[in-house]
Amino acid sequence: MRLLIQRVNAASVTVGNKKVSHIDRGILLLCGFHKSDTIGNIPKMAEKCLNLRVFEDAEGKMNLSLMEINGSLLVVSQFTLYADCRKGRRPSFDSSMPPDDAQRLYNALIAEFRKSGLNVAKGIFGAKMEVELVNDGPVTIMLDNGAFQESRPTPSNI
């Protein structure tokens, strides 16, 4: 699972000329699911996202989390986060989870975020969406569930 976190002053999703969701200060979260992801990945990724200190405190340091500022979250599915561009000029999406399975994980991720009590908005899974944002900073951070596995470079995996 990959979560692209963008700290925003505002963000919205429009589908077919209709604005379907909007948030003010918070996080725009683009999420993609790898074909090997499971529902078991969701709680840890959600907890990390909600508590990542990416908002500035009174001294201008990134010391506050989304939970601490009582911010909003806009969750948008984006299978292209698993694009493989190593060969040729057309990205391959073979690593992305099939749509039906990805939609189940997307809904589970949103349900997990809603347990926080924060305002959680969402895009429409599988729709052609226009995503508009006012990036604050800009601050953009990629979380990957592989980041939770500690690994040290060795000659075989460099």
Catalytic residues: 80
Determine the Cα–Cα distance for residues 8 and 2; give it in Å rounded to an integer: 19
Taking the CA atoms of the chain, what radius of gyration do you get in angstroms? 16
Tokens of 86: 């190593």
SS3 104: helix
Largest CA distance in the chain: 52
CB atoms inside a 10 Å sphere around CB 61:
10
Tokens of 155: 């000659």
Determine the Cα–Cα distance for residues 148 and 101; give it in Å rounded to an integer: 22
Tokens of 19: 């604005």
